[in-house]
């Protein structure tokens, strides 16, 4: 490894559908979990055969796959782990992401490369060096680390140790995601991947002597989310992140949709490539900001990277009105009649204007003039989710491209 390598774009995948989107839209590496030992219990996650298939497909494209083994382990949780790690080695996992010191030893014994999870709250070069001595080749930094601290860390750690940092996605109210709130309120432990996200709930005050009365905490539009952070977005600071010595840009979101993964990976892929093509003249394409804002459910912050720290994260604010509605995925390219087959996701109609999200083109739009059902009957609208429809598009569409209804 070398610190001078081109930065890696690392995408999440909670399902094979999201894995395909991450590959197609330009991720250099993908992190995911098997059916056990990794957090995010409510993602679909991957069977052992799916893990094998995913790694083979990624390696065929020169991409990497990292497997999360970052649950917090009790004694009983260790059952079957050595065999699982041996299987990950057999199928060629490029690394495992670990948050337990005891598991590091097991991974090294299995011959696996180790990445230290963000849950270990690594924020200084001495801690990073310690984990390197224990056998880690990469540190996933705590989100609470500033950009200045990252620069200093990069200067002081060994050349054979890489820094990975989150650059986009949800922020947690708890330090490095170590939270008991979900466990206490619902019995679902966030530290076991089953977080119910109670920090996103609406709260009110309840006075013990008046059990039937609830007093709202009014912040905006008659409701408040008092524990809910904005999402992180660092696309406006790609040059600074690269120059600080970060080796891998990590996108949060193993519980997110296929569309979210595609849109976010596409935006950062284009920004990173534009920077490397012309570092001195680099300017961010404003369309990428629109794409990122459009697939978000909360406002944005730069988190702890700069001086604002927690103050810049604020609490939840309702997002601006969206520019697009995700309405379909191309499943077959144009046939001899020029008709493209699309799996519909949200309603769209003849006469409406659609935007194309594609790794092959950027900023293309068209007005839908012809729409048919799977049997070739003329349709005026596609109202049913998952329905297969066929349409004509003046632009070249590829399998996996996504269509968005323009709302503004």
Calculate the average pLDDT of the chain. Answer: 88
The percent of residues above 90 in pLDDT, for the chain, comes to 68
User: Where in the chain are all domains bearing CATH 2.40.30.10?
Assistant: 324-406
What is the rounded average pLDDT of the residues 34-51?
A: 77
Domain 324-406 top-level CATH class: mainly beta
Is the pLDDT score of 79 beyond 80?
yes
Mapped onto helix, strand or coil, the DSSP state of residue 348 is: strand
**pLDDT tens, position by position, 217-230:** 665 554 556 667 78
Does 3.40.640.10 match the CATH number of domain 8-171+229-313?
A: no
Please, are residues 269 and 208 in contact by the beta-carbon 8 Å criterion? no
* pLDDT tops 80 at residue 31: yes
Q: What is the pLDDT of residues 81-115, one digit of tens each?
A: 999 999 999 999 999 999 999 999 999 999 999 99
pLDDT band, residue 1 (cuts 50/70/90): very low
Burial class of residue 295 (count of CB atoms within 10 Å of its CB; 0-12, 13-18, 19+): buried
Task: Determine the Cα–Cα distance for residues 160 and 124; give it in Å rounded to an integer.
Answer: 16
The torsion angles phi and psi of 50, rounded to 5 degrees, stand at -65, -35
- Range with lowest mean pLDDT among 230-244, 300-314, 394-408: 300-314
Average pLDDT over residues 306-330: 72
Flag whether pLDDT at 312 surpasses 60: no
Per-residue pLDDT for 272 more than 90? yes
Of 397, 267, 294, 381, nearest to 341 by C-alpha is 397
With a cut of 90, say whether residue 315 has pLDDT above it.
no
Angle, alpha carbons 163-257-262 (nearest 5°)? 65
Query: 3-class SS at 43?
Result: coil
pLDDT tens column, 319-363: 557 889 999 999 999 999 999 999 999 999 999 999 999 999 999
pLDDT at 204 over 80: no
> CATH 3.20.20.70 region(s) of the chain?
8-171+229-313
When pLDDT is cut at 50, 70 and 90, the band that residue 3 belongs to is: very low
> Which stretch of DSSP H or E encloses residue 7?
none
**Neighbouring C-beta atoms of residue 29, cutoff 10 Å:** 19
Burial of 151 (0-12, 13-18, 19+ CB in 10 A): middle
CA nearest neighbour of 370 among 398, 337, 346, 400: 337
Residue whose C-alpha is closest to residue 94's, from 172, 10, 21? 10
Stretch 63-79: mean pLDDT: 91
Give the model's confidence band at 177: pLDDT under 50 very low, under 70 low, under 90 confident, else very high. Answer: low
Q: Over the Cα atoms of the chain, what is R_g?
A: 23
User: Confidence band (pLDDT; 50, 70, 90) for 385?
Assistant: confident
pLDDT at residue 322, rounded to an integer: 82
Mean pLDDT of 275-279: 97
Q: What is the mean pLDDT of residues 385-392?
A: 94
Question: Tokens 């708890």 label which residue?
Answer: 174
* Distances, alpha carbon 193 to alpha carbons 37, 305, 337, 384, in Å: 9, 26, 48, 33
Position 126 scores a pLDDT of 97
């Amino acid at each position: 490894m070398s610190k001078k390598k081109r930065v890696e774009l690392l995408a999440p995948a909670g399902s094979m559908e999201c894995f395909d989107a991450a590959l197609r839209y330009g991720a250099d590496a993908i992190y995911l979990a098997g059916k056990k030992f990794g957090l995010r219990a409510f993602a679909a996650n991957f069977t052992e055969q799916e893990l094998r298939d995913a790694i083979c497909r990624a390696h065929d494209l020169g991409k990497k796959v990292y497997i999360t083994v970052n649950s917090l382990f009790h004694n009983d949780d260790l059952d079957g782990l050595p065999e699982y790690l041996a299987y990950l080695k057999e199928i060629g996992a490029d690394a495992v992401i670990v948050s337990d010191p005891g598991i590091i030893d097991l991974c090294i014994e299995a011959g696996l490369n180790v990445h230290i999870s963000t849950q270990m709250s690594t924020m200084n070069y001495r801690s990073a060096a310690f984990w390197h001595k224990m056998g880690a080749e990469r540190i996933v930094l705590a989100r609470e680390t500033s950009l200045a601290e990252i620069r200093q860390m990069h200067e002081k750690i060994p050349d054979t140790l890489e820094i990975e940092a989150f650059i986009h996605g949800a922020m947690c109210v708890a330090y490095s995601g170590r939270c008991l709130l979900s466990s206490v309120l619902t019995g679902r432990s966030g530290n076991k991947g089953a977080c119910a996200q109670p920090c996103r709930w609406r709260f009110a005050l309840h006075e013990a002597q008046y059990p039937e009365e609830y007093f709202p905490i009014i912040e905006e539009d008659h409701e408040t989310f008092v524990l809910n952070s904005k999402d992180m977005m660092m696309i406006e600071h790609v040059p600074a992140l690269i120059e600080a010595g970060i080796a891998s840009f990590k996108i949060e979101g193993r519980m997110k949709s296929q569309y979210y993964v595609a849109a976010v990976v596409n935006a950062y892929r284009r920004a990173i490539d534009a920077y490397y093509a012309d570092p001195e003249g680099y300017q961010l394409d404003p369309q990428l900001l629109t794409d990122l804002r459009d697939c978000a459910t909360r406002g944005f912050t730069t988190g702890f990277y700069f001086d604002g720290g927690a103050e810049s994260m604020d609490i939840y604010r309702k997002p601006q009105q969206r520019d697009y509605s995700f309405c379909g995925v191309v499943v077959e390219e144009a046939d001899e009649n020029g008709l493209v087959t699309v799996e519909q996701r949200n309603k769209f109609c003849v006469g409406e204007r659609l935007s194309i999200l594609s790794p092959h083109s950027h900023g293309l739009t068209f007005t839908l003039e012809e729409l048919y059902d799977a049997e070739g009957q003329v349709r005026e609208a596609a109202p049913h989710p998952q329905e297969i429809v066929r349409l004509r598009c003046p632009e070249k569409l590829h399998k996996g491209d996504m269509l968005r209804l323009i709302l503004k």
